[in-house]
Structure 1
Amino acid sequence: MSDELQPVADTEPIKDPGLAEHQFRPQDVDEAQAKRTERQIAWMFRVAGLLFLGFCFAYFLIDIDDTFLGWSAQNFAFGMTLGGGLLLVGVGIIQWAKKLMGDHEMVEMRHPSASSDEDRVAVMKDINAGIEESGFGRRPMIRNSLLGSMALLGLPAVVLLRDLGPLPHGQRETVWKKGMRLVNDVTGTPIKPSDMQVGQLVNGQPAVVYETDADGEPVLHGTELLQVKSKASIIVVRMRPEDVTPSKGRENWGVDGILCFSKICTHVGCPISLWEQQTHHLLCPCHQSTFDLGDNGKVIFGPAHRPLPQLPLGVDDEGYLIAMSDFPEIVAPSYPELARDQKKLDNKS
């Protein structure tokens, strides 16, 4: 026998590939059933659209601190509305495909990877035929309700963009005010000048963060507490008085070399406390902005363009460090309108 491969005598597909007889669905033979199924699917898409709208309402109407059965009420509403809407869209599409789109069995021969021009034309013809069989053009009720629910699905995405954080406008004031004590951020204890050594840095907060009401409950809690801490967090450092070079009008802003600055970097708002006590430099860990605390928090390196806001200090009758006012500068990351907003704040003060 020759070692050469012999040509295949018959390359045509077999006449009977073993497929069972096609079973028609109720929707294929009963137009009333098909219409009923179409209405059911359309209602799924419509309800999904309403749930997507409900997500937006829940975002604005339910307080973030509200609870429901021990869970976050807002998160529960988010899950029920967005999850329920997506579930209905998915179920509706599956029902559409299984009950209304064409379901004829097809048998195709294997063919080379590179298709001929005739095959490509045939594929496009089949694709167009599939689109026609899907009823996308012939069933406007389903098509329009699906497109409507998909359009409404974009609303939760737009709403969630707001959750990236509040706009910088309105961040001009913090809870600091004259007479409020500085407390240690870890223990909540007030700070005395005698508690600090030269070269030391202490992370601090306003005393209101740790205050409680008559029932012993915190005055601030939840989101309100986090918002206060995000704007009012401070660092307190002590240097030798001769190493401090205060600018005009800030000669009395320190107490025996103790100065207080915002903990929020003026670049993009990272919390900073990397302290070089020998050089009096404070470094931001995010983008290496460096501030000279001995020279009014001036920027000496990095992408930040504004000095760290400084809090004027004093001592109360019991010898504890207190704020003499709020920050005179805006405590916030830099943003385009900052210069304008700072000018308004200066005119107000």
Structure 2
Amino acid sequence: MSTNDDTDAETGTEAQPAYEEDRLQTTRRNAAKFFAALGGAAAVGTFAVSGLYGLNESALSGGPDYNYKTLYTQGTRLVDGEGNPIAVDAIEEGSGKSMTVFPEKEGGGALQVPVANTLLVRFTEDDYQEPTMLEGTAQGYAAYSAVCTHAGCTVSSRTGPNNQNFLCPCHQSVFNPLQGAKVVGGPAPRPLPQLPVGVTEEGDQLIIATGPFEAHIGAE
């Protein structure tokens, strides 16, 4: 599976009404999957994740558009652009490499709307420092919104020592993923929101969201 390098920048953070039905189906399915899995866990202990958050009400709620609370809910699988679930060995631990991923849609496939673009990166657990939401990392993985907080462009490049930092090609904002994607250069006013992730401990060990994004996506 390839990692994400330079790609064309995209703009826009607002979903269109045509996506509403997809979003409602996605949140309902994710809630159903999570409750089913949780029920199995209570019975036979077959489901667990690392860094599990409390269940968020957004898993059951509707709304007029995609936003940071509804794009991912607890138990949403992260998938690549072709809809393939991301296994724990997708990126070598400690490599610092990253890839663009998306929330899984109802019935499978990737929810590919600009606001859903997500950067999944893997260092080692010990590499991360505050203000990273440390309990939202798992086995060296961390995930952040790929929508720049300056003007809503897609953060699609890497820069800095060993290409450690994320770079937005539109206005050269730079974010450090080892410190909560805080801004270390350029005009962006705030960090990229972090998505808490975990790893299922059964089967293929897949990367899932353990809650929604921590903050508003894109420019405010």
TM-score calculated relative to the size of structure 2: 0.63
Q: Give 1:268 shift.
A: 0.6
Give the CA deviation at 1:251: 2.1
Check if 1:297 corresponds to 2:181: yes
**Larger relative contact order (Cα-Cα within 8 Å, sequence gap ≥ 6):** 2
What is the match of residue 190 of structure 1? Answer: 85
Q: Please, which of 79, 92, 105 is the counterpart of residue 208 of structure 1? A: 105
Aligned residues of 1:171 and 1:332 also touching (Cα < 8 A): no
How big is the shift at 1:275?
1.9
Whether the 8 Å contact between 2:68 and 2:212 is mirrored in structure 1 is: no
**Can you list the C-alpha shifts for 1:307-326, whole angstroms capped at 9, x where unaligned?**
00000001123310000011
In 2: Cα distance, 1:256 partner to 1:64 partner:
37
Q: Is structure 2 residue 165 aligned with structure 1 residue 281?
A: yes
Q: Which has the higher strand share?
A: 2
How far apart, in 2, do the equivalents of 1:172 and 1:244 lie?
23
Maintained 8 Å contact 1:174/1:231: no
Q: Deviations over 1:59-101 (max 9, x none)?
A: xxxx879xxxxxxxxxxxxxxxxxxxxxxxxxxxxxxxxxxxx
- Assess if the C-alpha contact under 8 Å between 1:289 and 1:301 holds in 2: yes
- What secondary structure sits across from 1:278 in the alignment? helix
Q: Distance in 2 between matches of 1:171 and 1:208?
A: 15
Structure 1: runs of 5 or more not aligned: 1-62, 66-168, 213-217, 335-349
Q: Matches of 1:238 and 1:305 in 2, distance apart?
A: 25
Match for residue 234 of structure 1 among 90, 93, 118: 118
Which residue number in structure 1 is paired with residue 217 of structure 2?
A: 331
TM-aligned CA distance change 1:284 to 1:180, over 3 Å: same
From the two aligned structures, give the one with the greater helix fraction.
1
Distance in 2 separating the partners of 1:171 and 1:183: 18
1:269 counterpart = 2:152 = yes
Letter of the structure 2 residue corresponding to residue 323 of structure 1: A
2:162 partner SS: coil
Aligned length: 154
Please show how residues 1-349 of structure 1 align to structure 2 within 5 Å.
Answer: 171-185=67-81, 187-197=82-92, 198-208=95-105, 211-212=107-108, 229-247=113-131, 250-276=133-159, 278-316=162-200, 317-318=202-203, 319-334=205-220
| Identical columns (%) | 31
Contact 1:174 1:232 in 2 (8 A): no
Q: C-alpha offsets along residues 200-256 of structure 1, whole Å, 9 cap, x if unaligned?
A: 2111000117x35xxxxx7x9xxxx66xx22221011111333211337x2221112
Match of 2:71, SS state, is coil
